[in-house]
Amino acid sequence: MVARRGSSRVGAFVGLALALLAFAPLARAHAILVASKPAANAELVGADVEVDVSLEFNSRIDATRSSLQLAKDGGALQPVALGETDKPNFLVGKPAKLAPGAYRLRWQVLSVDGHVSRGDLNFKVRAP
């Protein structure tokens, strides 16, 4: 009886290990935000701030099928025009001049392997 319990535990362990190995490539497939400008929760100072948005990901992205949107003080999201970059893991954009307030930048990127990732980046603009 003890031998059967031990062998079933070994079988369960082997099954779990194989499942983890099978799903390991999926965990690496999504583009993950590794750096941003402005930084998360940054506080920019100015009356009409010009911001160059730059998002760096851990893998190549398809910028033509990715997007940026910006909302001020909980308002509706507005599209941000994407800019050109020669870096295959960057998404860049330049919103209009920003007045003081709280902003939410929503990003959505398509990895070159076909997986979509999305997230929000919050920051504030404060009057001088």
CATH number of domain containing 45: 2.60.40.1220
pLDDT-derived band of residue 20, with 50, 70 and 90 as boundaries?
Answer: very low
18 with 81, same domain: the answer is no
Average the pLDDT over 14-37 and give the result.
63
20 with 71, same domain: the answer is no
Note the pLDDT of residue 113.
Answer: 87
23 with 35, same domain: the answer is no
Q: Model-level pTM?
A: 0.75
Q: Residue 9 pLDDT > 80, yes or no?
A: no
Average the pLDDT over 30-50 and give the result.
95
Note the pLDDT of residue 120.
Answer: 98
19 with 38, same domain: the answer is no
Q: How far apart are CA 21 and CA 37, in angstroms?
A: 35
Average the pLDDT over 53-80 and give the result.
97
pLDDT-derived band of residue 19, with 50, 70 and 90 as boundaries?
Answer: very low
What is the side-by-side strand order in the sheet with 33-37? 33-37, 53-57, 90-93
- Element containing residue 44 per DSSP (H, E): strand 43-45
Q: Residue 17 pLDDT > 50, yes or no?
A: no
66 with 119, same domain: the answer is yes
Q: How far apart are CA 13 and CA 36, in angstroms?
A: 40
Average the pLDDT over 21-49 and give the result.
80
Q: How far apart are CA 87 and CA 116, in angstroms?
A: 19
21 with 36, same domain: the answer is no
> Could you tell me the residue range of the domain that residue 3 belongs to?
1-30
Average the pLDDT over 76-82 and give the result.
97
What is the side-by-side strand order in the sheet with 67-72? 43-45, 116-126, 101-110, 67-72, 78-80
Count of domains forming the chain: 2
7 with 46, same domain: the answer is no
Q: Residue 118 pLDDT > 60, yes or no?
A: yes
Is 125:44 a contact under the CB 8 Å cutoff? yes
